[in-house]
Amino acid sequence: MRIRDLILPEDRVFFTLFSEMAVTISEAATVLNEITHELPAGMEKAHRVRQIEHNGDEITRKIYEKLNESLVTPLEPEEISRLAPVMDDVLDRIDRVTQQVCTYELAESSDVLREFSYIILLSTTEIQHAIKSLSELKKPEKVRNHASEINRLYNLSIELQSRGVLDLFKAKDLLLIIKLKDIYEGLGRVMEKCNDVGHALNDIAMSHS
Protein backbone atom coordinates (compact mmCIF):
# COMPACT_ATOMS: atom_id res chain seq x y z
CA MET A 1 0.00 0.00 0.00
CA ARG A 2 1.34 3.40 -1.00
CA ILE A 3 1.60 6.16 1.56
CA ARG A 4 -0.90 8.14 -0.51
CA ASP A 5 -3.47 5.46 0.26
CA LEU A 6 -3.24 6.53 3.90
CA ILE A 7 -3.80 10.25 3.34
CA LEU A 8 -4.33 12.45 6.34
CA PRO A 9 -7.63 14.38 6.18
CA GLU A 10 -5.96 17.78 6.04
CA ASP A 11 -4.10 16.87 2.86
CA ARG A 12 -7.37 16.77 0.98
CA VAL A 13 -7.18 20.56 0.96
CA PHE A 14 -5.66 20.18 -2.51
CA PHE A 15 -8.93 18.76 -3.83
CA THR A 16 -10.80 21.63 -2.16
CA LEU A 17 -8.53 24.18 -3.81
CA PHE A 18 -8.71 22.50 -7.21
CA SER A 19 -12.51 22.42 -6.89
CA GLU A 20 -12.54 26.13 -6.04
CA MET A 21 -10.38 26.81 -9.07
CA ALA A 22 -12.68 24.79 -11.34
CA VAL A 23 -15.70 26.74 -10.09
CA THR A 24 -13.82 30.00 -10.62
CA ILE A 25 -12.97 29.04 -14.20
CA SER A 26 -16.60 28.16 -14.86
CA GLU A 27 -17.74 31.50 -13.41
CA ALA A 28 -15.46 33.37 -15.81
CA ALA A 29 -16.69 31.27 -18.75
CA THR A 30 -20.28 32.00 -17.75
CA VAL A 31 -19.69 35.76 -17.86
CA LEU A 32 -17.90 35.46 -21.23
CA ASN A 33 -20.86 33.50 -22.57
CA GLU A 34 -23.25 36.16 -21.29
CA ILE A 35 -21.26 38.93 -22.96
CA THR A 36 -21.18 37.23 -26.36
CA HIS A 37 -24.93 36.68 -26.19
CA GLU A 38 -25.69 40.27 -25.14
CA LEU A 39 -23.48 42.30 -27.50
CA PRO A 40 -23.30 45.21 -27.94
CA ALA A 41 -24.62 45.41 -24.37
CA GLY A 42 -22.93 43.59 -21.50
CA MET A 43 -19.40 44.79 -22.14
CA GLU A 44 -19.26 46.36 -18.68
CA LYS A 45 -19.13 42.79 -17.35
CA ALA A 46 -15.49 42.49 -18.44
CA HIS A 47 -14.36 43.85 -15.09
CA ARG A 48 -16.08 40.89 -13.41
CA VAL A 49 -13.94 38.46 -15.39
CA ARG A 50 -10.83 40.41 -14.42
CA GLN A 51 -11.77 40.14 -10.74
CA ILE A 52 -12.52 36.43 -11.12
CA GLU A 53 -9.09 36.00 -12.73
CA HIS A 54 -7.47 37.69 -9.73
CA ASN A 55 -9.35 35.30 -7.43
CA GLY A 56 -7.99 32.40 -9.45
CA ASP A 57 -4.44 33.68 -9.07
CA GLU A 58 -4.93 33.64 -5.30
CA ILE A 59 -6.19 30.04 -5.37
CA THR A 60 -3.18 28.99 -7.47
CA ARG A 61 -0.87 30.71 -4.99
CA LYS A 62 -2.48 28.77 -2.14
CA ILE A 63 -2.00 25.47 -4.00
CA TYR A 64 1.74 26.06 -4.37
CA GLU A 65 2.00 27.33 -0.82
CA LYS A 66 0.32 24.20 0.51
CA LEU A 67 2.43 22.00 -1.73
CA ASN A 68 5.60 23.46 -0.25
CA GLU A 69 4.29 22.81 3.28
CA SER A 70 2.93 19.28 2.84
CA LEU A 71 4.88 16.12 3.49
CA VAL A 72 2.08 13.90 2.22
CA THR A 73 -0.17 14.78 -0.73
CA PRO A 74 -3.19 12.98 -2.25
CA LEU A 75 -1.57 13.18 -5.69
CA GLU A 76 2.07 13.08 -6.67
CA PRO A 77 3.66 16.53 -6.20
CA GLU A 78 4.52 16.51 -9.90
CA GLU A 79 0.85 15.93 -10.76
CA ILE A 80 -0.23 18.86 -8.61
CA SER A 81 2.50 21.03 -10.11
CA ARG A 82 1.27 20.13 -13.60
CA LEU A 83 -2.45 20.59 -12.98
CA ALA A 84 -2.33 23.91 -11.12
CA PRO A 85 -0.70 26.03 -13.86
CA VAL A 86 -2.75 24.63 -16.75
CA MET A 87 -5.97 25.43 -14.87
CA ASP A 88 -4.64 28.93 -14.21
CA ASP A 89 -3.84 29.24 -17.92
CA VAL A 90 -7.48 28.59 -18.83
CA LEU A 91 -8.60 31.42 -16.59
CA ASP A 92 -5.91 33.77 -17.93
CA ARG A 93 -6.99 33.07 -21.51
CA ILE A 94 -10.69 33.60 -20.70
CA ASP A 95 -9.83 36.95 -19.17
CA ARG A 96 -7.67 37.91 -22.14
CA VAL A 97 -10.26 37.12 -24.80
CA THR A 98 -13.00 38.79 -22.76
CA GLN A 99 -10.97 41.99 -22.75
CA GLN A 100 -10.49 41.60 -26.51
CA VAL A 101 -14.23 41.27 -27.13
CA CYS A 102 -14.97 44.38 -25.08
CA THR A 103 -12.02 46.49 -26.30
CA TYR A 104 -12.99 45.94 -29.94
CA GLU A 105 -16.50 47.28 -29.19
CA LEU A 106 -18.31 44.98 -31.60
CA ALA A 107 -21.61 46.40 -32.80
CA GLU A 108 -23.22 42.97 -32.65
CA SER A 109 -22.45 39.35 -31.89
CA SER A 110 -22.30 36.45 -34.33
CA ASP A 111 -23.38 32.82 -34.35
CA VAL A 112 -19.74 31.74 -34.21
CA LEU A 113 -18.99 33.93 -31.19
CA ARG A 114 -22.02 32.65 -29.31
CA GLU A 115 -21.33 29.02 -30.19
CA PHE A 116 -17.63 29.32 -29.34
CA SER A 117 -18.28 30.81 -25.92
CA TYR A 118 -20.87 28.12 -25.22
CA ILE A 119 -18.39 25.36 -26.11
CA ILE A 120 -15.93 26.98 -23.69
CA LEU A 121 -18.61 27.00 -21.00
CA LEU A 122 -19.34 23.32 -21.60
CA SER A 123 -15.62 22.53 -21.38
CA THR A 124 -15.23 24.32 -18.06
CA THR A 125 -18.23 22.40 -16.75
CA GLU A 126 -16.50 19.17 -17.73
CA ILE A 127 -13.40 20.35 -15.87
CA GLN A 128 -15.55 20.86 -12.77
CA HIS A 129 -16.98 17.36 -13.03
CA ALA A 130 -13.55 15.84 -13.65
CA ILE A 131 -12.05 17.54 -10.59
CA LYS A 132 -14.95 16.27 -8.47
CA SER A 133 -14.35 12.74 -9.76
CA LEU A 134 -10.61 13.14 -9.21
CA SER A 135 -11.19 13.73 -5.51
CA GLU A 136 -12.71 10.25 -5.25
CA LEU A 137 -9.62 8.59 -6.79
CA LYS A 138 -11.37 5.22 -6.62
CA LYS A 139 -13.14 5.92 -9.92
CA PRO A 140 -10.45 7.21 -12.27
CA GLU A 141 -12.49 6.10 -15.29
CA LYS A 142 -14.91 8.94 -14.57
CA VAL A 143 -12.06 11.42 -14.76
CA ARG A 144 -10.97 9.92 -18.06
CA ASN A 145 -14.51 10.15 -19.45
CA HIS A 146 -14.68 13.85 -18.66
CA ALA A 147 -11.22 14.37 -20.14
CA SER A 148 -12.38 12.62 -23.29
CA GLU A 149 -15.38 14.95 -23.52
CA ILE A 150 -13.11 17.98 -23.14
CA ASN A 151 -11.07 16.68 -26.06
CA ARG A 152 -14.22 16.16 -28.13
CA LEU A 153 -15.29 19.74 -27.47
CA TYR A 154 -11.80 20.93 -28.35
CA ASN A 155 -12.05 19.20 -31.72
CA LEU A 156 -15.44 20.83 -32.28
CA SER A 157 -13.89 24.21 -31.52
CA ILE A 158 -11.19 23.65 -34.13
CA GLU A 159 -13.87 22.97 -36.75
CA LEU A 160 -15.86 25.99 -35.58
CA GLN A 161 -12.85 28.28 -35.75
CA SER A 162 -12.03 27.14 -39.29
CA ARG A 163 -15.63 27.66 -40.39
CA GLY A 164 -15.77 31.03 -38.68
CA VAL A 165 -12.62 32.29 -40.41
CA LEU A 166 -13.87 31.11 -43.80
CA ASP A 167 -17.15 32.94 -43.27
CA LEU A 168 -15.27 36.09 -42.31
CA PHE A 169 -13.74 36.41 -45.74
CA LYS A 170 -17.21 36.67 -47.22
CA ALA A 171 -17.63 39.96 -45.36
CA LYS A 172 -16.71 43.34 -46.85
CA ASP A 173 -15.73 45.14 -43.64
CA LEU A 174 -11.95 44.66 -43.42
CA LEU A 175 -11.68 46.06 -39.90
CA LEU A 176 -14.42 43.72 -38.65
CA ILE A 177 -12.65 40.78 -40.30
CA ILE A 178 -9.44 41.63 -38.44
CA LYS A 179 -11.23 42.04 -35.11
CA LEU A 180 -13.24 38.83 -35.32
CA LYS A 181 -10.33 36.76 -36.60
CA ASP A 182 -8.29 37.92 -33.61
CA ILE A 183 -11.13 37.08 -31.21
CA TYR A 184 -11.69 33.65 -32.77
CA GLU A 185 -8.00 32.90 -32.32
CA GLY A 186 -8.25 34.01 -28.68
CA LEU A 187 -11.22 31.75 -28.10
CA GLY A 188 -9.29 28.92 -29.77
CA ARG A 189 -6.44 29.43 -27.29
CA VAL A 190 -8.90 29.09 -24.41
CA MET A 191 -9.94 25.72 -25.78
CA GLU A 192 -6.31 24.69 -26.23
CA LYS A 193 -5.75 25.35 -22.54
CA CYS A 194 -8.94 23.47 -21.62
CA ASN A 195 -7.60 20.53 -23.61
CA ASP A 196 -4.27 20.78 -21.75
CA VAL A 197 -6.24 20.43 -18.49
CA GLY A 198 -7.99 17.41 -19.97
CA HIS A 199 -4.66 15.80 -20.86
CA ALA A 200 -3.29 16.43 -17.37
CA LEU A 201 -6.40 14.96 -15.74
CA ASN A 202 -6.34 11.94 -18.03
CA ASP A 203 -2.69 11.22 -17.23
CA ILE A 204 -3.36 11.55 -13.48
CA ALA A 205 -6.33 9.20 -13.75
CA MET A 206 -4.28 6.63 -15.65
CA SER A 207 -1.51 6.73 -13.05
CA HIS A 208 -4.03 6.00 -10.30
CA SER A 209 -5.87 3.23 -12.15
The CATH number of the structural domain formed by 9-207 is 1.20.58.220
Q: For the CA atoms of the chain, what is the radius of gyration? A: 18
pLDDT the model gives residue 148: 97
Report the predicted TM-score, pTM, of the whole model to 2 decimal places: 0.91
Whether 96 and 186 have beta carbons less than 8 Å apart is answered as: yes
Number of neighbours of residue 44 by Cβ within 10 angstroms: 9
Number of neighbours of residue 60 by Cβ within 10 angstroms: 19
Give the integer Cα–Cα distance in Å for 61 and 64: 5
List the chain pLDDT tens, one digit each, 209 residues: 343 444 445 468 899 999 999 999 999 999 999 999 999 887 788 999 999 999 999 999 999 999 998 777 888 899 999 999 999 999 999 999 999 998 998 888 999 999 999 999 999 999 999 999 988 766 788 999 999 999 999 999 999 999 999 988 887 888 989 999 999 999 999 999 999 999 999 999 998 77
pLDDT the model gives residue 140: 84
